[in-house]
Amino acid sequence: MLRLRTQYDLKPLVIHTNYLVNLASTNPLFLKKSVEAFRGEVERALAVCADYLVLHPGSFRGSDREAGLLQTAAAIAASTQSLDLARGGLTILIENTAGAEFSLGGSFEQVAEVIDRLRGVVPIAACIDTCHTHVAGYDIVTEEGIYQTLQLLDATVGLNNVKVIHCNDAKAARGSKLDRHQHIGKGTIGLEPFRILLNDLRLVHAAFIAETPIDQPGDDRKNVDTLKKLVS
Ligand SMILES: [Zn+2]
């Protein structure tokens, strides 16, 4: 596995957890299944020597946000019991979300809370998605807004804890809570914010990954090329 990763220059190797996993579920059966499924994800990530496993913090429908955050943290701890993530070089990344309705993680504070609760329990850090950040209401369009948003991110999650940035433009307006990814430079975020983020020295340690739509074959390659051209 390591040989193949070297051959294809896959570094870091980032895996996204199945979207059906909801560690904040108030339904005992769904919660049990989610814990089992997430444990399976962790085991497979360890087996392929992945660096990061990205997880959405879940939906608290039927409960309240605070209880949901607590439960997600507890469920991550339960799912990873007796597995040595540190030894396997695996870190779980909590991703910020669009924050619609009952979904947890719509603010940097919520992401930070899950991380803080798991510090010392399991290797844990954050993945920040530009589309989610924008539709959740943060300003990542104006230059001043981007720096303010980065400052907020640093004061909560901490920029050194941001290990992966999902680079996606957005189809929906800032604050709309509508999670619809768009091609880089073609959406409501636009091209310039990505140039600023990609060249910010405080984020040099982070991996930038495009999760843009593939409407036509080759769109993924095009979006990555667009991002690469912005790096100076
Ligand atoms: Zn994402």
Range of the domain at 80: 2-230
C-alpha 78 – ligand 1 centre gap (Å): 24
C-alpha 53 – ligand 1 centre gap (Å): 12
C-alpha 32 – ligand 1 centre gap (Å): 25
C-alpha 225 – ligand 1 centre gap (Å): 19
C-alpha 8 – ligand 1 centre gap (Å): 23
Q: Which residues contact 102 (CB under 8 A, 6 or more apart)?
A: 59, 60, 61, 68
Entry field: residues in the chain: 232
pLDDT tens for the chain, 232 residues long, are 667 777 777 789 999 999 899 999 999 999 999 999 999 999 999 999 999 999 999 999 999 999 999 999 999 999 999 999 999 999 999 999 999 999 999 999 999 999 999 999 999 999 999 999 999 999 999 999 999 999 999 999 999 999 999 999 999 999 999 999 999 999 999 999 999 999 999 999 999 999 999 999 999 999 999 999 999 9
The pLDDT value recorded for residue 1 is 65
> Global pTM?
0.95
C-alpha 30 – ligand 1 centre gap (Å): 23
Q: How many domains does the chain have?
A: 1
Q: For the segment 79-120, what is each residue's pLDDT rounded down to a tens digit?
A: 999 999 999 999 999 999 999 999 999 999 999 999 999 999
Output the six-digit token pair for 222.
């095009």
CATH code, 214: 3.20.20.150
C-alpha 166 – ligand 1 centre gap (Å): 5
C-alpha 63 – ligand 1 centre gap (Å): 25
Q: List C-alpha distances in Å: 81 to 27, 36, 43, 140.
A: 21, 11, 11, 38
C-alpha 129 – ligand 1 centre gap (Å): 5
What does 207-223 look like in DSSP terms, one character per residue?
EEEE----SSTTHHHHH
What does 16-72 look like in DSSP terms, one character per residue?
EPPTT--TT-SSHHHHHHHHHHHHHHHHHHHHTT-SEEEE---B-TTS-HHHHHHHH
Output the six-digit token pair for 198.
């990609």
Going by C-alpha positions, the residue among 155, 230, 159, 223 that lies closest to residue 193 is 230
**Alpha-carbon torsion 138, 144, 146, 149, what sign?**
negative
C-alpha 143 – ligand 1 centre gap (Å): 22
Amino acid symbol at 228: K
The pLDDT value recorded for residue 6 is 74
Q: List C-alpha distances in Å: 184 to 137, 146, 193.
A: 19, 16, 10
